[in-house]
Chain A
Amino acid sequence: MSGFSTQELLAIFAMQGFAGVSFFSVLLLMALGLAIIYGQMRVINMAHGEFMVIGAYATYLCSITLGALPGMTDYYLFFAIPIAFGSAFLVGYVVEIALIRHLYHRPLDTLLATWGLALIMQQGFRSAFGAREVSVLVPDWLRGSYRPTMMIDIPLNGIAILVLTLLVTLGVWWFLYRSRWGLRVRCTTANRDMSGAVGINTKRVDRVTFALGCGIAGIAGAAFTTISSTGPTSGSLYIVDTFLVVVFGGAGSLVGTIASAFSIAQAQSLMEFFLGSSMAKVLTLLTVIGILLLRPEGLVASKVRR
């Protein structure tokens, strides 16, 4: 770090920190969906990244249709986000019925099956949209940046994604902890047999939970389009980091997932500037492994008698 003045270092930290926030936003959106699905059904969804890509392509389609209408370029994103959610939700719903529900209690098979599904979906994207990456129209109000000082430059799209992520996280919190559906989900997560025996239709809960997790990945895809271009394999770049976030945070804990997404995204983003991205990945991974050795249940484990 030598050769930088204190002022420069501060500016670097602020800007890299903010770049980390954009990464954190997408990572958190991805991890929320994955954590809900894993927590409820013990299904590790290897195709989760592809559900994000569904959301990204849905946003792209909105951008070239809706966004091309006169006067709509600035606003199409507000329609694209619910459409991204809805399309990923629907595909998730169908996938649960057609594939996942036959594989509960067979975790290894699910791993393979969802990985196969990921490959099929990637090829599907390639056939439908071509192998070349596509970009959406970024509305004017998302271009440019906010400059609090001469040296700090914070891109507006990053701020927008952060706000979106906060809203979605709040929505997920409300759904899980304040709604009747959330109660059903938490009961089924805790004890599937007993939930059935108090009258909860656990199969329906599974279906909705899986679809919801996929839908949130779809929102992550919509957010993703504003910071990067979308290709058929964009999702697979995120899946490893997302798993890391879920395991590190402690499956089934919303606070843990947020904390872990934040620390992993920030650590990578800051170290990347000084050490290069490979070294940053290695160091992050080693740290996570170290902490997991000390706290096998993740950052936040709930304290309760069993």
Chain B
Amino acid sequence: MLEVNGLHVSYGQSEVIHGVSFDMNQDETLAIMGRNGMGKTTLFKALIGVLPSGAGSIRLDGKELSGLPAHKRVAAGLAYVPQGRMIFPNLTVMENIESGLETARTRKVPREIFDLFPVLLDMRNRKGGNLSGGQQQQLAIARALVTEPKVLLLDEPTEGIQPSIIKEIARTLNDIREMKKIAILVSEQVLSFTMEIADRLTVIERGEFIHEESRATADQAKIASYLAV
């Protein structure tokens, strides 16, 4: 379904991602684990098209996405929840969700979004910027979901969020996957969180994938050693 092959990404002259390759199946969750500065966010930005990528290909259901502008990748089936949420602070919660309806078949926010995130229904007329970090995270996921994606990209969803909400987000992500049968690519530093949602874990270091296992056989101590500073 999503096939990334030999992807290189650079900031000007300095290359940050050195030929990363991976495949994802429908209804599969892949976690990319790595410390700060290893290239997780850069990789995600290149996947959604906020950053241009160099050599290599990004294919979704056989369609080549590299080189396309971000909005066309969204139309093709990618959705992006960035690090730091990046919701629109001056727009209401409802307007934030509606902004994702550009590629959807209807202009109405589907009911199921509020089933997943009841708190957003209560806060629909508040400005997005006045929500707490955890609520903003839910809002960013809701905004990505209404685009009707095939692959959901989540960049460090637990960053700066209190532990009880982290558990809730893990549960929601599993619900979403159950309900929508979509692939989820998530980058993380928190191992306990990924062990709850991911089918496979891969470790990124200095812009390269250096270790991969499935959750069933994952050696947590070994992965944790990669994440230790």
**Which residues in A have some Cβ–Cβ distance to B below 8 Å?**
180, 183-184, 186-187, 190-191, 193-203, 302, 304-306
Q: Could you list some 25 contacts between A and B, CB below 8 A?
A: A180-B107, A184-B99, A186-B90, A186-B95, A187-B88, A190-B88, A190-B90, A193-B50, A196-B49, A197-B50, A197-B74, A197-B82, A198-B74, A198-B99, A198-B144, A198-B147, A199-B100, A199-B147, A200-B71, A200-B102, A201-B69, A201-B71, A202-B71, A304-B129, A306-B129
**Residue interface bits B146-167, CB-to-A below 8 A is 1, else 0:** 0100000000000000000000
Residues of A within 8 Å of B86, CB to CB, are 191, 194
Most chain A C-beta atoms within 10 Å of own C-beta, residue among B69, B70, B91, B147: B70
Q: Could you tell me the distance in whole angstroms from the C-beta of A194 to the nearest C-beta in chain B?
A: 5
Residues of A within 8 Å of B130, CB to CB, are 304-305
> Do residues A186 and B82 form an inter-chain contact, with CB atoms below 8 A?
no
B103-142 residues with Cβ-Cβ distance < 8 A to A are: 103, 107, 127, 129-130
- B185 part of interface (Cβ distance < 8 Å): no
Q: Could you tell me the distance in whole angstroms from the C-beta of A13 to the nearest C-beta in chain B?
A: 38
Can you list the 3 inter-chain pairs with the closest CB atoms, starting with the nearest?
A196-B70, A199-B74, A304-B129
Find the A residue at minimum CB distance from B95: A183
Known contacts A187-B88, A302-B90; is A198 also within 8 Å of B50 by CB? no
Residues of A within 8 Å of B102, CB to CB, are 184, 198-201
- B98 part of interface (Cβ distance < 8 Å): yes
Residues of B within 8 Å of A305, CB to CB, are 89, 129-130
Residues of A within 8 Å of B127, CB to CB, are 304
> Do residues A194 and B129 form an inter-chain contact, with CB atoms below 8 A?
no
Q: Could you tell me the distance in whole angstroms from the C-beta of B206 to the nearest C-beta in chain A?
A: 25
Q: Could you tell me the distance in whole angstroms from the C-beta of A182 to the nearest C-beta in chain B?
A: 10
Residues of B within 8 Å of A201, CB to CB, are 69, 71, 102
Residues of A within 8 Å of B91, CB to CB, are 183, 186-187, 190
Q: Could you tell me the distance in whole angstroms from the C-beta of A85 to the nearest C-beta in chain B?
A: 26
* Docked complex Cα distance between A195 and B130 (Å): 19
Residues of A within 8 Å of B48, CB to CB, are 197
> Do residues B49 and A197 form an inter-chain contact, with CB atoms below 8 A?
yes
* Docked complex Cα distance between A5 and B59 (Å): 82
> Do residues A196 and B98 form an inter-chain contact, with CB atoms below 8 A?
no
* Docked complex Cα distance between A85 and B71 (Å): 30
* Docked complex Cα distance between A180 and B130 (Å): 23
> Do residues B50 and A190 form an inter-chain contact, with CB atoms below 8 A?
no
Residues of B within 8 Å of A180, CB to CB, are 107
Known contacts A198-B144, A199-B103; is A186 also within 8 Å of B88 by CB? yes
* Docked complex Cα distance between A158 and B48 (Å): 52
Which of B50, B89, B95, B98 meets A304, CB within 8 Å?
A: B89
Which of A184, A190, A197, A302 meets B70, CB within 8 Å?
A: A197
Residues of B within 8 Å of A203, CB to CB, are 69
* Docked complex Cα distance between A66 and B179 (Å): 62
**Residue interface bits B68-96, CB-to-A below 8 A is 1, else 0:** 01110011000110100010111100010
> Do residues A306 and B100 form an inter-chain contact, with CB atoms below 8 A?
no
* Docked complex Cα distance between A184 and B100 (Å): 10
> Do residues B50 and A183 form an inter-chain contact, with CB atoms below 8 A?
no
* Docked complex Cα distance between A306 and B89 (Å): 7
Q: Could you tell me the distance in whole angstroms from the C-beta of B135 to the nearest C-beta in chain A?
A: 12
Q: Could you tell me the distance in whole angstroms from the C-beta of A301 to the nearest C-beta in chain B?
A: 11
Which of B88, B95, B103, B144 meets A191, CB within 8 Å?
A: B88
* Docked complex Cα distance between A180 and B79 (Å): 20
